[in-house]
Structure formats: C-alpha cells, structure tokens
Amino acid sequence: MSANKKPSNLIDSQRALNISGILVIAMVGGLGAYSVSGTPLFTVAVILSVAQIALFVHCTQFASGADSKLSFWLQALCIGTLFFVVPSDFIYILTVVWLVQSVELYGVRRTVWHFAGTAVLFTIAQLIYFGLTSLLDHIISIGLYSLFNMFAISVVQKFVGEREQKEHMAELNRDLLATRDLLSQSSAQSERLRISRDLHDILGHHMTALILNLEVATHQVEGEPREKVEQSLALAKLLLSDLRSTVGELREEGSINLEESINALVSGIPDFTIDVDFNDAAKIDDVELAETFLRCTQEAVTNVLRHSNADRCRIEMNKDDSSYTLSVSDNGKASGDIQPGNGLKGMEERVNAMGGELAWRQSEKGFQLTVSLGATQLS
C-alpha cells in the first residue's frame, strides 16, 4: 500500500498563514525600500526584503529540523538589519511574521524572549535615528506594535494547540482501529479453533466409531444387506475424510492478518506517504506475536511523525529460514546519535520478552528500526 494523504483543514489554514506571511513581508519590505529610495540604502533594503521572503518560504515549505532554525535566524538577521536601514517604525511589523514562526519552532516561552529581544533592538534603532526627539510618539508606536505581536502570538499558540490536539486524537483513533482489527481477528481465530476442535474431538470420534461398527457389520451379514452396509461404510469413510479436510482448513484460516491491522494503524495520516509491503511474509498464528509486531510498528511510526523530518515511511515484513523481520524505515536526514527514550526502551523490553531482537540504525538515507522474531514462533 502506498498512500498520499490529502491535507486536512488545519494544513489548509497553515498554507493560508504562509501566504499571508509572504504578503506582509513583501508589502512592508516594499514600503521600507520606497521610504529610502534615492539613497544608497535602497538597494540594501530591497536585497534584505527579498532575502527574507526567500528564507521564509524555505523555512515554512521546504526546510525541516536544523535547516528550519537556520532559516529562522537568518530572517532575524535580515529584520534586525532593516531596523537600522529603514528609519520608519512600520518596519517593526516584520517581527510579527518572525514571531509566528518562533511559536512553531520553539514554543511560546522562548517566543516571549524573542519578542522582548526584537522590541529592545527596535528601540535602540529608533533612538539612533531620532534620539530623544518625539520619544513619546515612538514609545506609543512600539507599544501598539507590541500589542499586535502579542495578539498574533496568542492566536498562533491556539492554532498550534488545536492542531496538536487534532493530531493526537487522530493518532488515538488509528490506534483504536488497529487494536479493534487485531481483537476481531483474534476472536475469529479463537472461534474457528474452537469449532475445529469440537468437530475433530466429537464428530470425528463418533464417525470413527461408526466406521468400526460398519466394518464389523460387513462380516456378519450376507447378500443384499451386506452390499448396503459396505456402501454405508464407504460413505462414512468419505465423510470422515471431508471432516478432516474441513478441520484442517479451519485451522489454516485461523492466522492473524497483521497487514490489515497495520493498514488500519497508518491510514488517515495527513501529508505523509507510507508504504506497507507484506508480500514476502506469512501470516501469524500467535496473537501475542502479532500484537508485539503491531505495538512496535505503532511506536516506530509515532517516533517518525514526532521526531523525524521525513515525509515518507516504509513498513515491510520479510522472512528467512530462521526468523521473520519487521522493518520500519524513513527518509529523514541524520541529526546525530540516537539516544533511546522510553519508546525505544519499551519496544526493546517487549521484543526481548518474546525471545526476539530489536535493532535500529541511522544513516544519511534515514532511520531504520527492525524487529526480529524466530520463525518457529510464526506460521
């Protein structure tokens, strides 16, 4: 399965927010450049405004992780320079777009410090330009723009909180669907096994007894009655053979289809591509083993979504002569050594308790986690 998920309403709102940011930077930067037109600072103002637009687009559309933060701080450099290039208080509006990104990247607490830093820097620039003349007017302007910044920060904080809550609810819903699917298969498996045992132990026993009695009867009757008994004996043996075939089919159909449960787990993830490949893997008979694979997949996918800058993930099950291996890999960029957290440690404990092995590695191609369990435990 390869699924490209459609963006949700929140992602549409994010796109609208990004477009608004580009328009604000373009308008304020254009007005700032116009205010110094005819001076050597005009070219500098244009370059800085265009650079900020490019950095904003890169930060919000293409970059991730460390690259996003680098673009973020380069924008801060452009804005800070414009404070001293353009002698107009409206240039402070550029900090609104920058602080909105700060909430996304660093959270509200650090954004408050970023907000204070921009206010101080802008105040210094205004004092350099105008000194103490019209000081009250500049204080009022800075106060008004600061209130606008605080309003923007609170709005974005609410937006981010709603997005995280919706993502959390969607994650819980996917986990519930996957667990329900596994439980449904487990219940069906148990029922099939119960029916197959009853057919084998009760009906099979009675059919065997009937065949023995019919064989004895063939030696005690003659003529036409014996012919009828022999026909009944042949029919009873055929019925016993069909019964054994049916019992065998019921047991074979009692396997857990782990691929269905994993598809339920990963369906509905927005703006992310997940490939599920179980072509080389057999079905699992043991419910506990299936749950181990499912829970490890759940934790691995969660880690990819929360901690990776990847946009694609592959889930694959393979087997060899000695073991079956579940692999979850992504295309995120390497960001240093992985320090195992509670998620990886919990997976390792679960797999070790089942007598298997869990391993992970990170390379330039991304992060890969593998879970191996002995083939003797699987169908």
Q: What was the pLDDT predicted at 334?
A: 55
> Does 244 share its domain with 262?
no
**Nearest-angstrom CA–CA distance, 179 and 174:** 9
Neighbouring CB atoms inside 10 A of 152's CB total 17
> Does 363 share its domain with 325?
yes
* Averaged pLDDT for residues 36-50: 89
Q: What was the pLDDT predicted at 377?
A: 46
User: At a CB cut-off of 8 Å and minimum separation 6, what does 32 contact?
Assistant: 45, 49, 82, 85, 86, 88, 90, 91
3-state secondary structure of 7: coil
Residue 252 has pLDDT above 90, yes or no: no
* Averaged pLDDT for residues 77-96: 88
Of 234, 252, 270, which residue sits at a domain end? 252
Residue 69 has pLDDT above 70, yes or no: yes
When comparing pLDDT for 47 and 217, which is higher? 47
Q: What was the pLDDT predicted at 10?
A: 41
The residue whose two tokens read 């404990």 is: 349
* Averaged pLDDT for residues 136-143: 77
> Does 94 share its domain with 203?
no
Confidence bin at 89 (pLDDT 50/70/90):
confident
> Does 202 share its domain with 247?
yes
> Does 240 share its domain with 303?
no
The residue whose two tokens read 């105040």 is: 123
Q: Is 145 contained in some domain? A: no
H helix or E strand, kind and range, residue 240: helix 224-252
Average per-residue pLDDT for the chain: 76
What does the block give as tokens for 359?
A: 């391993």
Q: Cα(first)–Cα(last) distance of the chain, in Å?
A: 23
Q: Is 221 contained in some domain? A: yes
Confidence bin at 67 (pLDDT 50/70/90):
confident
Residue 144 has pLDDT above 90, yes or no: no
Per-residue HEC secondary structure of 15-49 comes to HHHHHHHHHHHHHHHHHHHHHCCCCCHHHHHHHHH
Q: Is 211 contained in some domain? A: yes
* Averaged pLDDT for residues 171-200: 65
The residues with which 317 forms a beta bridge, in sequence order, are: 326
> Does 241 share its domain with 266?
no
Dihedral pair phi/psi, residue 367, rounded to 5°: -110, 140
Residue 240 has pLDDT above 80, yes or no: no
> Does 220 share its domain with 303?
no
Q: Which of 185, 374, 361 is nearest to 287 (CA)?
A: 185
Q: Which of 139-143, 211-215, 332-336, 348-352 has the lowest mean pLDDT?
A: 332-336
Domain that holds residue 54: 7-133
**Nearest-angstrom CA–CA distance, 290 and 255:** 10
Of 231, 252, 273, which residue sits at a domain end? 252
Residue 243 has pLDDT above 70, yes or no: no
Confidence bin at 65 (pLDDT 50/70/90):
low
When comparing pLDDT for 12 and 121, which is higher? 121
Q: Is 152 contained in some domain? A: no
> Does 265 share its domain with 312?
yes
> Does 265 share its domain with 355?
yes
b/e code 220-247 from CB counts within 10 Å (16+ = b):
eeeeeeeeebeebbeebbeebeeeeeeb
pLDDT tens, residue by residue, 264-311: 777 777 777 888 888 766 567 777 777 788 888 888 888 887 777 777
Q: Is 184 contained in some domain? A: no
Confidence bin at 193 (pLDDT 50/70/90):
low
> Does 244 share its domain with 207?
yes
Neighbouring CB atoms inside 10 A of 249's CB total 12
Of 215, 236, 252, which residue sits at a domain end? 252
Confidence bin at 51 (pLDDT 50/70/90):
very high
Confidence bin at 338 (pLDDT 50/70/90):
low
Confidence bin at 2 (pLDDT 50/70/90):
very low
> Does 232 share its domain with 335?
no
Helix, strand and coil in the chain, % to nearest 5? 70, 10, 20
Q: Is 158 contained in some domain? A: no
The number of folded domains in the chain is 3
Q: Is 148 contained in some domain? A: no
Q: Is 153 contained in some domain? A: no
Q: What was the pLDDT predicted at 378?
A: 44
CATH number where 310 lies:
3.30.565.10
> Does 211 share its domain with 287?
no
